[in-house]
Amino acid sequence: QLNAMKFPNKSPLSDIYKHLMVTASRFTVQIEEKLLLKLLSFFGCNQSESEVENYDENLHEKPAGQELARKRYYFENLKISIPQIKLSVFTSSKLPLDLKALKSTLGFPLVRFEDAVIDLDPY
């Protein structure tokens, strides 16, 4: 559920809200080790430091003078309320060699568990 009250504003570059309240009901998050490792591999977590250093940092820079003004959002009161999350992690016994190599470089083991209840206080 989303509840917002916006102040009138003449600036096209900003939105000002008196309040924004996000409330979610209980939900479940399931993490599968194989899928998680594939995502990490896709996003480059398996690259060596030399490959990362060779990345062209200027690749996504815009030429001078083409800077676009970005819209900003301001909130007087922002409240996020997610009362409870159930978390499950499912490990894989058979992983492809590339994912096994990635798993060994991560430095933390995944432990299998189901329906761990996480209670979060609203903030």
Q: Report pLDDT digits (tens) over 77-98.
A: 999 998 899 999 999 999 999 9
Number of domains in the chain: 1
Residue 9 in any domain: the answer is: yes
List the chain residues with pLDDT less than 50: 52
Question: What is the value of pTM for the model shown?
Answer: 0.59
Kindly report each contact of residues 41-46 with a partner whose C-beta sits within 8 Å and lies 24 or more positions away, as own/partner. Answer: 41/98, 41/99, 41/102, 45/102, 45/106, 46/98, 46/101, 46/102, 46/105
* Residue 112 lies inside a defined structural domain of this protein: yes
Strand partners, 90: 32
CA dist 84 and 73 (Å) reads 28
Is 65 part of any domain?
Answer: no
The residue behind tokens 């409330």 is 23
Q: Which residue range(s) make up the domain with 109?
A: 2-46+75-118
Residue 41 lies inside a defined structural domain of this protein:
yes
* CB contact at 8 A, 82 and 120: yes
